[in-house]
Amino acid sequence: MMKPYIFILLSLYFTIYDVCAQNNVAKMSLNLDIPAVSIIDFAGTDNKILINSGKGAEQIINPSTLDRTWLNYSSIVEENTTNIISVNLSAWNLPSNMAIRLKVGENAGAGAGATGKPVGQILLSKYPQQVITGIGSCYTGRGIRKGHQLTYTWEGLFPVEDADDDSMENIEIAVTYTITSSI
């Protein structure tokens, strides 16, 4: 009658014995921090590119820039927020009859994460316009054929028969890309 109880009793003794022996612990405190990140940059072979890396990046384009540049970015966002990239002309000597159309390509897929969606094509102006939206935590990869390809098209707003072709070569336009939180 007593034998099962003795077994239980012995089990309890050994359990307590083990707990005593394992009571040797040291605690370490760690702090892990992920700051929000939003940085953009250009990649391309065109030597007319001036790069001011950071939240805003300025690119000097001319009529030969065309589709030779790519937009790279890295982004880490807080919960329930996204980043957007806006574009505006920051310095220009554009003939009054000319406009520049910008087409932002789809992300080339070299990176990972929640890369943004291009809005399509816009006509550049001095007012910032959103070109890539819904950027979560992501990176595009760095270099050409990574990120979003930028295609500039120079358009005459109305025909000018006597346009001086040489004057086009001197045109330099500064275009600023800015990455900001959508909130």
Contact set with another protein (CB under 8 A): 1-2, 5, 8-9, 12-13, 16-18, 20-37, 39-41, 43, 53, 57, 72-74, 76-79, 111-114, 136-143, 146-147
C-beta of 31 vs 96, nearer to another protein: 31
Phi, psi of 110 (to 5 degrees): -80, -20
CB of 132 to another protein, least distance (A): 13
Positive or negative CA dihedral for 168, 128, 91, 118? negative
CB of 69 to another protein, least distance (A): 13
CB of 116 to another protein, least distance (A): 11
CB of 163 to another protein, least distance (A): 37
C-beta of 81 vs 97, nearer to another protein: 81
How far is CA 35 from each of CA 39, 76, 83, 179, rounded to the nearest angstrom?
12, 7, 14, 16
Phi, psi of 15 (to 5 degrees): -60, -50
C-beta of 95 vs 111, nearer to another protein: 111
Name the token pair of 118.
Answer: 């291009």
Could you write out the DSSP letters of every residue in 71-108?
EEEEEE--TT--EEEEEEEEE----TTEEEEEEEEEE-
C-beta of 77 vs 150, nearer to another protein: 77
